[in-house]
Homo-oligomer: A and B are copies of this chain.
Amino acid sequence: MLEQMGAAAKAASYKLALLSSREKNRVLEKIADYLESQSQEILLANEQDLLEARRNGLSEAMLDRLALTPARLKGIADDVRQVCNLADPVGQVIDGGLLDSGLRLERRRVPLGVIGVIYEARPNVTVDVASLCLKTGNAAILRGGKETWRTNAATVKVIQQALEECGLPAGAVQAIESPDRALVNEMLRMDKYIDMLIPRGGAGLHKLCREQSTIPVITGGIGVCHIVVDDSAEIEPALKIIVNAKTQRPSTCNTVETLLVHQGIAGTFLPALSKQMAESGVTLHADANALALLQNGPANVVPVKAEQYDDEFLSLDLNVKIVTDLDDAIAHIREHGTQHSDAILTRTLRNADRFVNEVDSSAVYVNASTRFTDGGQFGLGAEVAVSTQKLHARGPMGLEALTTYKWIGFGDDTIRA
């Protein structure tokens, strides 16, 4: 079955690659319209998914993440309309010129071809990914969370209907309509058909893809992010940034998980931190030195466990560690970070420079919140994923990350000397 899907996606990708921006936007608008006008079957499928999820004992919070309503579906349709407004990177000439040999060479941006996406429960991702792939002339094979497989299948059916009405093959957007996990392993080896694989999920999914996939994988989305409080930091602005980085949306990958506090400022900074964190409802996980300075403060504080430096809390919890100097802080980040987002709060130019140059993360910040690592915030218009690997795309991935390029050589019966 997957073999057939792959061949259909590849065939569709050749057609999509030839479309103009106007033609692609026409499909997207039709998809948006159909998501509203044909919502009935999607909502019905979602009800069945929710029923089963409730039977399986999923939490109310989780059920809420899975649930679709007419209003949510309208929001999703509006997001598709937004994608129409984005600039289309396909066809852009990156560079070019006339070579000594007489060959006129240009490098032109083209779609990747077929993109595979494996994601977890939220049903809006189906439409989100499909619209970004179509906008860039790519076909997509989607494998959503098993909790919403009926919703995803119904959604893709509506998308396919819109595609066909625009004279395009249904193979352009396909979903694996089965909760069977073995299909994921099969998908990971379809390098004949799939050009890039994007896993959107937890560390386990990323590890599985890295180890099993024969398709190039973009991994990311895991953020053990740090903020270094340098000895020259100003306390009030530092606290403002930490509150933002920890509490604005604690469940995201760009949330700070560990504070590294210079020993020279710890004595004045940590009591102020304790007061602020108590107000913000944050529990501190402190190393021995920090604990001594925090234990009489108003904030909740517990001793840190060593392994907590390597994991995301994704909650109102924050590690606090005292470091002897900037070298110590950088060494900690190199050992425990995930190369996502790290910041320094400092008033010393040389330390800011050193941090920026020596910390090897997708995004590094000086006197700013780690929460900025986001496609929308960076002005990319859309966000396909946040990559923490170094090849192809790093940090927030916009539409350009869904493209590659080809070299085009125009000769006049030109041969190599």
Contact = CB atoms under 8 A, between A and B. Distances in A.
Interface of A: 14, 17-18, 97, 99, 101, 103, 105, 110, 112-113, 191, 195-196, 210-211, 214, 216-218, 234, 237, 240-241, 244-245, 248, 334, 356-358, 360-369, 371-373, 377-379, 389-392, 394-396, 404-416
27 contacts: A14-B334, A17-B357, A17-B360, A103-B372, A113-B390, A195-B389, A196-B391, A216-B389, A216-B390, A362-B407, A363-B406, A363-B409, A364-B406, A364-B409, A365-B409, A366-B408, A367-B410, A368-B411, A368-B414, A371-B415, A372-B414, A372-B416, A377-B416, A391-B404, A392-B392, A394-B404, A396-B407
Given A413-B237, A416-B372, A407 B390 contact: no
Given A214-B211, A244-B416, A407-B363, A103 B373 contact: no
A68 to B, nearest CB: 28
Given A99-B379, A210-B191, A211-B214, A395 B407 contact: yes
A59 B406 CA distance: 38
Contacts of A365: 408-411
Most chain B beta-carbon contacts within 10 A, residue among A99, A362, A396, A407 = A407
Nearest to A367: B411
A358 B362 CA distance: 35
A113 B392 contact: no
B392 A407 contact: no
B367 A413 contact: yes
Given A112-B390, A216-B217, A366-B411, 12 more contacts: A14-B360, A103-B377, A237-B413, A240-B415, A364-B406, A365-B408, A366-B408, A366-B410, A368-B410, A369-B416, A371-B416, A394-B405
Given A191-B210, A211-B214, A369-B416, A390 B363 contact: no
B390 A103 contact: no
A390 B364 contact: no
A97 B360 CA distance: 21
A370 to B, nearest CB: 9
Most chain B beta-carbon contacts within 10 A, residue among A112, A358, A396, A415 = A415
Contacts of A14: 334, 358, 360
A247 to B, nearest CB: 11
A155 to B, nearest CB: 27
A20 to B, nearest CB: 12
A372 B101 contact: yes
Contacts of A373: 407
A369 B415 contact: yes
Given A14-B334, A391-B391, A248 B416 contact: yes
B196 A413 contact: no
Contact of A414 (B112, B369, B416): B369
Nearest to A354: B18
A229 B392 CA distance: 35
A384 B196 CA distance: 22
Nearest to A396: B407
Contacts of A245: 415
A407 B386 CA distance: 12
A383 to B, nearest CB: 13
